[in-house]
Chains A and B, each alone.
Chain A
Amino acid sequence: MTTAQPEALNFECETGNYHTFCPISCVAWLYQKIEDSFFLVIGTKTCGYFLQNAMGVMIFAEPRYAMAELEEGDISAQLNDYEELKRLCLQIKRDRNPSVIVWIGTCTTEIIKMDLEGLAPKLEGEIGIPIVVARANGLDYAFTQGEDTVLAAMATRCPDKVSVVEAEKNERNAIQKLLNFGKKKEEVAEEESEYVNHPPLVLFGSLPDPVVTQLTLELKKQGIKVSGWLPAKRFTELPVIEEGYYVAGVNPFLSRTATTLMRRRKCKLIGAPFPIGPDGTRAWIEKICSVFGITPQGLEEREAQIWEGLEEYVKLIRGKSVFFMGDNLLEVSLARFLVRCGMTVHEIGIPYMDKRYQAAELALLEKTCKEMGVPIPKIVEKPDNYNQVQRIYELKPDLVITGMAHANPLEARGINTKWSVEFTFAQIHGFTNARDILELVTRPLRRNNSLKDLGWDKLVKEEAKI
């Protein structure tokens, strides 16, 4: 390739005519993560229909979420919002008794200007269950940003006094000690000394519990203690956040949460690349270490060892090209990882680009491209799917990472695709899960390798002209 290589990242912005999931979809994974929560989506049949179809079988597992379906009387204010919400929330309290009810505001509540933030504290006082309000609507946000709005709202609910909570914990510990009767005292003391003395660190971003364990252990190896995680398994276990605490994000779409933690909770944000891929994980840990003045131990070897284990996958994609249509904000991190795997990235479509929150990730992308000797891809914010499809026809990438609306039609035209939503639900963080990312990325290539002699590449009769 002898094309002139752009020196720096190139940002573009298109029309915003692209396909993505509505941000209310975050309830699907957040209700599972926060075990004592109940999510109430205040919207219309359209929202309900989306959730019902997008969540597929989950809907039948007695989910802890529901629609407060607005009717014509609600829209024209013939019914009293407060009374209606009270009726539904009391029903939820009676049936499920959650520790928190999260109200998800939608496009409709925005347009009719339903004052959810105003109603919540009043109702909270009356029914005795915390009500957290997140405006995760399609007017303002895309897909994973829904989680961002919920966590930003949760951030203001984290307890700010260590003392009270610690006292409670000690009480619990007393019982714990009884249970640990046989355990030697030294062991407990030793556990404490495994950590370096550093200011408290709280991580934010919802991840499956096994991944939480893995990342926590990864930091423990460096002597870094994770004091808490936003969100925790239960709403009642939200971490203590005091002024001066350090916080670090694990996902690229959490910019509002980061802002809230900095401005409202007076925390210090560690701006690092995200722990996606072995390169990202190492950079993430190194950055945290550097902030605490710790010299990382054995990270380089660990990364090398992971790469070694990935070789069978990497050789399938090395030298191939990829095109991100953009719908979940993980695109920059994934592109950076795939460049490190030896791929060329044509385009990184992304719904929204927070250049400050993602600064370290962007810098790592740029550095990676230079080191791997590939052109720096252009980043297209608010992409236009129609234009992108035309560019895909022209560029003929080896792989297109896209939403389900375009996947089958592209496959029928002989273009390999990977459904982007899977990256949101799969475990992709840390050293341990790098293999899972490549498992996803290479699946279409492996599948098509086994089909390649059949001559069934293009399965549409005629390309639409014009």
Chain B
Amino acid sequence: MKLAYWMYAGPAHIGTLRVASSFKNVHAIMHAPLGDDYFNVMRSMLERERDFTPVTASVVDRNVLARGSQEKVVDNITRKDAEERPDLIVLTPTCTSSILQEDLQNFVERAQLEAKGDVMLADVNHYRVNELQAADRTLHQIVQFYIEKARKKGELPEGKTAKPSVNIIGISTLGFHNQHDCTELKRLMADLGIEVNAAIPEGASVHELKNLPRAWFNLCPYRELGLMAARYLEAEFGMPYVDITPMGVVETARCIRKIQQIVNAQGADVDYEEFINEQTLYVSQAAWFSRSIDCQNLTGKKAVVFGDNTHAAAITKILAREMGIHVVWAGTYCKYDADWFREQVSEYCDEVIITDDHGQIGDAIARVEPSAIFGTQMERHVGKRLNIPCGVIAAPIHIQNFPIGYKPFMGYEGTNQIADLVYNSFTLGMEDHLLEIFGGHDTKEVITKGISAESDLNWTREGVAELNKIPGFVRGKVKRNTEKFARERGIKDITVEVLYAAKEAVGA
């Protein structure tokens, strides 16, 4: 048992649901108790999704505990198959079904006999993998399923596309700025003269999956999601993949050079150096920003970085290599992939921290007192408490991290966005200090607003006590309204009764 207030990565089924519901016309059915369909709320709220989230539960209740699911799961699958005609139904186990140990595979096979669409069981164990690992596995599983299906039917297309082409693997729902990254990567590919053969799983149809081998190579922008599928495609079809995250000026260039090498090896003749040079020096503002006197002021400032592998590693490199900021420590909560992280960031920071304990991270922040934090929403709140500004760079995230404006983290526009994020975090911090030194913008205390400055009214002790129970941000308004009410009626003593009578009268 572990005492926990907060977790960085969610439970396994969240990963499976993120991948399944990213595809078009794929439905997930969770084998779960009532209330575990919270995923739908998150998707509907955070992504402001206009469509119903294609996730339902086959509810585990007392009857299921006593007698097993029996026909229930099968019925729910065939019912959903008839109602929505999905291409694929993914039966998703949860922590509850992990311990019930029902033969879900058997249910899937029985349901498949009747269902028009495909049915599969997500192969994830709640107690062994987290959200990110489960997402990676599920994507691999679905890709493999449809490649094998096509192969069996002899429908696997032969050969490659005429022009160089790419599959972008790993864009998913509820991913940090994934939609914007996807758009930016597609633009980048268009600029490089590379066709996008497919982008999975977000917005893709499972019918497209059999065409994946037609691409010349795969691009996995995120370390956490897509690599398993890419490795599978490499093993099956000899498809090379690029796993360099194009985040930051240097890494974007490195990613493009790797792409160049891969497509040239397959007979293309491209030279992207000119493009990289043009973008770096004149299109993206980030390289110029590093040179400008603004950024000079950031030299040697202390920062700490924490997040998932992809973002924490990339941001660490950007801060240290491209902006001259002193990264005191960089950390990740992807413990299962810690070696990769260490290898990536070791030379760019003093210390590497691998943990999924937010308390330890909070302490580590307090210990070094950085000028800025780059982390998740949790670190933002630590920053608030310690009065240190924080830029959010990775999940877990809140609704404000799903902006509707265009805010990629990847590609050349991404470098601009990151420069803004970093710069704004630091200046705010400096401004704060200046304010502290000079005693604030406006030291004159506002005593009262409006009409009740010199009050002839008497608040009774109970009245004041009750008033103090009202949340601070509306208390002033309630007080003014109550006094106005009392004055109008010639009431001298304000009691609890008067307070609430006033509320009833004016809706204070």
On whether the two chains bind one another, the answer is yes
B3 at the interface (CB under 8 A from A): yes
Q: Do residues A75 and B3 form an inter-chain contact, with CB atoms below 8 A?
A: no
Q: Do residues A386 and B83 form an inter-chain contact, with CB atoms below 8 A?
A: yes
Complex Cα distance, B25 from A464, in Å, reads 11
Interface string of B30-44 (1 = CB under 8 A from A): 001111111011101
A412 at the interface (CB under 8 A from B): yes
Q: Do residues A139 and B61 form an inter-chain contact, with CB atoms below 8 A?
A: yes
Q: Which residues of B contact A17 (CB under 8 A)?
A: 56-57, 59, 76
- Give B398's nearest chain A residue, CB to CB: A56
Q: Which residues of B contact A67 (CB under 8 A)?
A: 2-5
Complex Cα distance, B65 from A140, in Å, reads 11
Q: Which residues of A contact B33 (CB under 8 A)?
A: 22, 107, 137-139
Contact A22-B51, Cβ < 8 Å, known A140-B61, A408-B45: no
B48 at the interface (CB under 8 A from A): yes
Query: What is the predominant secondary structure among interface residues of chain B facing chain A?
Result: mixed
Q: Which residues of B contact A44 (CB under 8 A)?
A: 11, 95, 126
Stretch at the interface among A168-176, A210-218, A247-255, A340-348: A210-218
Interface string of B41-55 (1 = CB under 8 A from A): 110110011111100
Q: Do residues B507 and A435 form an inter-chain contact, with CB atoms below 8 A?
A: yes
Q: Which residues of A contact B83 (CB under 8 A)?
A: 386, 466
Q: Do residues B7 and A405 form an inter-chain contact, with CB atoms below 8 A?
A: no
Contact A66-B3, Cβ < 8 Å, known A49-B14, A306-B504: yes
Q: Do residues A459 and B50 form an inter-chain contact, with CB atoms below 8 A?
A: yes
Q: Which residues of A contact B11 (CB under 8 A)?
A: 44-46, 49
Residues facing B in A62-115 (CB within 8 A) are 63, 65-72, 74-75, 79, 84-85, 87-88, 91-92, 107-108, 110-112
Complex Cα distance, B466 from A142, in Å, reads 33
Contact A138-B35, Cβ < 8 Å, known A46-B94, A46-B95, A460-B50: yes
Q: Do residues A111 and B41 form an inter-chain contact, with CB atoms below 8 A?
A: no
Complex Cα distance, B49 from A54, in Å, reads 17
A404 at the interface (CB under 8 A from B): yes
Q: Do residues A112 and B99 form an inter-chain contact, with CB atoms below 8 A?
A: yes
Query: What is the predominant secondary structure among interface residues of chain A facing chain B?
Result: helix
Complex Cα distance, B299 from A4, in Å, reads 79
Q: Do residues B50 and A408 form an inter-chain contact, with CB atoms below 8 A?
A: yes
Min Cβ gap A54→B in Å is: 7
B151 at the interface (CB under 8 A from A): no
Q: Do residues B5 and A59 form an inter-chain contact, with CB atoms below 8 A?
A: yes
- Give A142's nearest chain B residue, CB to CB: B34
Partner of A139, one of B40, B65, B505: B65
- Give A47's nearest chain B residue, CB to CB: B95
Min Cβ gap A336→B in Å is: 21
Q: Which residues of B contact A404 (CB under 8 A)?
A: 41, 44-45
Residues facing B in A118-156 (CB within 8 A) are 137-143
Partner of A69, one of B2, B381, B384, B396: B2
Complex Cα distance, B384 from A213, in Å, reads 34
Contact A19-B40, Cβ < 8 Å, known A66-B5, A140-B62: yes
Q: Which residues of B contact A84 (CB under 8 A)?
A: 1
Residues facing B in A2-23 (CB within 8 A) are 16-23
* Residue of B100, B127, B384 ringed by the most chain A CB atoms within 10 A: B127
Complex Cα distance, B132 from A45, in Å, reads 14
Partner of B496, one of A53, A63, A213: A213
Partner of A464, one of B32, B36, B84: B84
Partner of A108, one of B44, B57, B76, B96: B96
* Residue of A60, A137, A305, A405 ringed by the most chain B CB atoms within 10 A: A405
Please tell me the size bucket of the interface on A.
35 or more
- Give A62's nearest chain B residue, CB to CB: B5
Q: Do residues B469 and A210 form an inter-chain contact, with CB atoms below 8 A?
A: yes
Interface string of B480-499 (1 = CB under 8 A from A): 00000000000000001100
A432 at the interface (CB under 8 A from B): yes
B302 at the interface (CB under 8 A from A): no
Complex Cα distance, B152 from A305, in Å, reads 76
A48 at the interface (CB under 8 A from B): yes
Complex Cα distance, B51 from A464, in Å, reads 10
B237 at the interface (CB under 8 A from A): no
Complex Cα distance, B503 from A306, in Å, reads 11
Q: Do residues B5 and A460 form an inter-chain contact, with CB atoms below 8 A?
A: no
Q: Do residues B127 and A88 form an inter-chain contact, with CB atoms below 8 A?
A: no
A52 at the interface (CB under 8 A from B): yes
Q: Do residues B99 and A59 form an inter-chain contact, with CB atoms below 8 A?
A: no
Complex Cα distance, B496 from A377, in Å, reads 39
Complex Cα distance, B131 from A45, in Å, reads 10
Min Cβ gap B8→A in Å is: 10
Complex Cα distance, B13 from A49, in Å, reads 11
- Give A436's nearest chain B residue, CB to CB: B507
- Give A43's nearest chain B residue, CB to CB: B95
- Give A430's nearest chain B residue, CB to CB: B500
* Residue of B4, B35, B470, B496 ringed by the most chain A CB atoms within 10 A: B35
Complex Cα distance, B57 from A54, in Å, reads 19
A309 at the interface (CB under 8 A from B): yes
Q: Which residues of A contact B44 (CB under 8 A)?
A: 404-409
A273 at the interface (CB under 8 A from B): no
B10 at the interface (CB under 8 A from A): yes
Complex Cα distance, B356 from A315, in Å, reads 54
B349 at the interface (CB under 8 A from A): no
Task: A16-B34, A46-B96 given; name 12 further pairs at CB < 8 Å.
Answer: A18-B34, A22-B33, A22-B34, A46-B95, A48-B7, A69-B4, A75-B99, A87-B1, A138-B36, A404-B41, A405-B37, A409-B44
Can you report 25 A-B residue pairs in the complex whose CB atoms are below 8 A from each other? Answer: A46-B13, A46-B96, A53-B38, A54-B41, A59-B5, A60-B384, A67-B5, A68-B1, A71-B2, A88-B1, A110-B65, A138-B33, A138-B34, A140-B62, A142-B35, A143-B35, A309-B505, A386-B83, A405-B37, A406-B52, A409-B44, A409-B50, A409-B52, A432-B500, A459-B50
Closest 7 interchain pairs by CB?
A22-B35, A138-B33, A405-B40, A412-B50, A60-B381, A84-B1, A44-B95
